[in-house]
Structure 1
Amino acid sequence: MSHGEHYFTASPASPAQLRTIDVRLAGRDVRVTTAPGVFSGDHLDHATRLLLEKVPPPPATGDLLDLGCGWGPIALTLAHAAPQARVWAVDVNERALDLTRRNAEADGATNVTAVEPDEVPDDVTFAAIWSNPPIRIGKPAVHAMLVRWLPRLAPDGVAHLVVSKNLGADSLARWITAELGLPVERVTSAGGFRILRVTRA
């Protein structure tokens, strides 16, 4: 990725040179399509892998959110674990959304809807939110993202966020409780990352 380009850019400047890689998702070997200009475009990153391995299975039904979907590893995992649920894969990066759609189709995940944030209807609430949030875009942008989405948890919904300890996982947990009034529990700490569990009460 060229200097100055970021995976949080709506339209990456680098060429969309598609490649296929083999990854393990939900206990399955899956071949997916990736490209430069999206987060972790050539592998399944450690933090996302930790989230997928350590978080309990999602609810079997309802609306599930992959916030910041990249090329779709979380969305594909949610879709496979809960085929009767509706999985929303949300990103501002057009290339990431295209890759997620490609990968969902190839994997037979017909319950995945990959869209930009404004395309999610306002009345949708989420039984689960899974996210490896883009901490490196800076606190104001991350906070704005969480302010928008975490309050949309259903009354019994649960969010799981994976965040690097060195990039402020503990301070982010305190901020969520202080600013949004949502309880946060640190459920796993491994490899320099925390998994935070956020609930409505």
Structure 2
Amino acid sequence: MGHYFSERPDAGHRPGSVTLVLPDLHLRLETDSGVFSPERVDLGTRVLLETVPPPPARGDLLDLGCGYGPIALTMASRAPEARVWAVDVNRRSVELTGRNAQTAGLPGVRAVHVDEVPDEVRFAAIWSNPAIRIGKPALHAMLTRWLSRLTSDGAAHLVVQRHLGSDSLQRWLGEQGWQATRVASRAAYRILKVTR
């Protein structure tokens, strides 16, 4: 299958680039087919990056489902002393994020496959535009796996489209014992803050 959430997408390479412009940041990012939103920075990602509070200045931070890296590179730009883990199941995405971080001069980004993060690493912050389209069972398993690695005072910020189940996801998180609060809502997207 050629989904962006395949480990090795079978889509032929179609290199391109997109520009991410935020009030504090201007990045040109290399993209390719077979990754999430290769034509433009996804609106949900943009809403997340424009509304989320600054990341912790130090420690380990996580971009869960990094695509070609707009979230990871923004985290690293805003917290240059932190170590930002950019993880994805899609190896093409991981390679692109690594190259984009290098081009942007952001040595704090560690772009790796989801199974290559050492087990002992705990995250002071998680930012994610999670792959809702993988289906609820896989989404729930992914969030359980990574949210359990938040530090005791850490917080995750997730962006989810309202019509793709943001409210039911917020309810499910609460049922799992997480504090899940909607902290922003814009253009049919919800930003959920998740803490212990």
Short-chain TM bin? over 0.9
Matching of residues 93-108 of structure 1 within 5 Å: 93-108=90-105
Q: Partners in 1 of 2:25 and 2:146 — Cα distance? A: 29
Alignment partner of 1:74 is 2:91: no
Amino acid at match of 2:158: L
Q: Could you give the per-residue CA deviations for residues 59-98 of structure 1, whole angstroms, max 9, x where no partner exists?
A: 0000000000000000000000000000000000010001
Structure 1 contact 25–73 (Cα < 8 Å) conserved = no
Aligned to 2:189: 193
Instruction: Give structure 1 stretches of 5+ with no counterpart.
Output: none
Give the Cα separation in 1 of the matches to 2:67 and 2:22: 15
1:110-131: per-residue Cα shift (whole Å, max 9, x none)?
0000111111111111000000
The 8 Å contact of residues 25 and 77 in structure 1, kept in 2 or not, is answered as: no
Task: Provide the rounded CA distance (Å) in 1 between the counterparts of 2:163 and 2:59.
Answer: 34
Distance in 2 between residues matched to 1:116 and 1:27, nearest whole Å = 28
Instruction: Measure, in 2, the Cα distance between the counterparts of 1:115 and 1:182.
Output: 27
Which SS does the other structure have where 1:97 is aligned?
Answer: helix
Q: Which residue in the other structure is 2:143 paired with?
A: 146
Alignment coverage as a number of residue pairs: 196
The two structures have a TM-score, normalised by structure 1, of 0.95
Measure how far apart 1:27 and its partner are.
Answer: 2.5
Q: Is the 8 A contact 2:25 2:74 kept in 1?
A: no
Tell me, in whole angstroms, the C-alpha distance in 2 between the residues paired with 1:174 and 1:31: 37
**Residue in structure 2 matching 1:20, options 17, 22, 39:** 17
Q: What residue in structure 2 maps to residue 182 of structure 1?
A: 178
Report the 3-state secondary structure (helix = DSSP H, G, I; strand = E; otherwise coil) of the residue aligned with 1:6: coil
- Asked whether 1:89 is paired with 2:83, we answer no
- SS of 1:121's equivalent in the other structure is coil
Cα deviation for residue 25 of structure 1 reads: 4.3
Equivalent AA in structure 1 for residue 125 of structure 2:
A
Secondary structure of 2:68's counterpart equals coil
How much has 1:21 moved relative to structure 2? 2.5
Q: In structure 2, do the counterparts of structure 1 residues 111 and 26 end up closer, same or farther at CA, with 3 Å as the change threshold?
A: farther
Q: Are the equivalent residues in 2 in contact too, given 1:26–1:52 (CA < 8 A)?
A: no
Distance in 1 between residues matched to 2:87 and 2:81, nearest whole Å: 19
Matched, 1:116 2:126: no
Deviation at 1:19, TM superposition (A): 1.5
Structure 2: any 5+ residue segments left out of the alignment? none
Pick closer, same or farther for the CA change 1:45–1:18 going to 2, 3 Å.
same
Classify the secondary structure of the residue corresponding to 2:121. coil
Question: Which AA in structure 2 matches 1:188?
Answer: A
For 1:141, the aligned partner's letter is A
Query: Matched residues in 1 for 2:163 and 2:131: separation?
Result: 14
**Identity in percent:** 58
Q: Deviations over 1:152-179 (max 9, x none)?
A: 1001000000001111101101111212
